[in-house]
């Protein structure tokens, strides 16, 4: 049984609520990090598998572009605006969940860029999660939702799920059926013999 598409207002509400939850969780963890963790010192949680490591990142991943922080602030703002714009036309539950989580992650790091030292628009992002066995980068809750959100977006596009809740294959099947109907009607029209007119006798 196929689920009916969401109303646009319901999809928008899902996006807004999830974004607010992710943003709140990200900022709460960052508050705890600043309050309780020593700066620049690893705190093992599960040995080398998982550590807490409080740092401030002025750049992107791996501190790339630390001298052009305003560019990342602008990029985050643009992404947030695009997601909000797309949310107005959503009718898909999955798209609403994915975009809500992605928006929350984007807003989490954008909040740091805007409000944290050294100030707008070059604020430093608070990072605290380290997994040395997997990658040298230190990340935060917002980063987790951004990465998983982007992967989810790619998967939804790959599987052909549209913003309106329909699937690409359904549209292709409908278009194919319509084309076959048109061809059948055209063939029936061309193949029908013209009605013979009665002949007059002289």
Q: Which residues are catalytic?
A: 127, 143
- The widest CA-to-CA distance across the chain, in whole angstroms, is 116
Q: How many CA atoms lie within 13 A of 188 on its CB side?
A: 6
Closest by CA to 131, choosing from 62, 28, 45, is 45
> How far is 139 from 30, CA to CA, in rounded Å?
11
For residue 104, which of 35, 19, 44 has the smallest C-alpha distance?
Answer: 19
Q: How far apart are CA 56 and CA 71, in angstroms?
A: 17
Beta-carbon count within 10 A of 165 CB: 19
């Amino acid at each position: 049984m196929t689920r009916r598409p969401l109303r646009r207002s319901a999809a928008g509400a899902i996006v807004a609520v999830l974004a607010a939850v992710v943003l709140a969780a990200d900022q709460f963890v960052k508050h705890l990090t600043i309050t309780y963790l020593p700066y620049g010192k690893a705190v093992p949680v599960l040995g080398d598998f998982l550590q807490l490591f409080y740092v401030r990142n002025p750049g992107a991943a791996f501190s790339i572009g630390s001298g052009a922080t305003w560019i990342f602030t602008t990029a985050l703002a643009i992404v947030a605006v695009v997601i909000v714009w797309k949310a107005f036309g959503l009718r898909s539950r999955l798209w609403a969940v994915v975009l809500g989580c992605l928006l929350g992650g984007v807003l989490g790091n954008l909040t740091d860029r805007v409000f944290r030292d050294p100030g707008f628009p070059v604020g430093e992002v608070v990072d605290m999660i380290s997994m040395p066995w997997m990658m040298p980068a230190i990340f935060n809750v917002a980063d987790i939702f951004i990465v998983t959100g982007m992967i989810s977006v790619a998967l939804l596009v790959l599987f052909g799920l549209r913003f309106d809740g329909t699937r690409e294959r359904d549209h292709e099947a409908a278009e194919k059926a319509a084309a076959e109907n048109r061809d059948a009607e055209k063939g029936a029209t061309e193949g029908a013999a013209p009605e013979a007119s009665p002949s007059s006798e002289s």
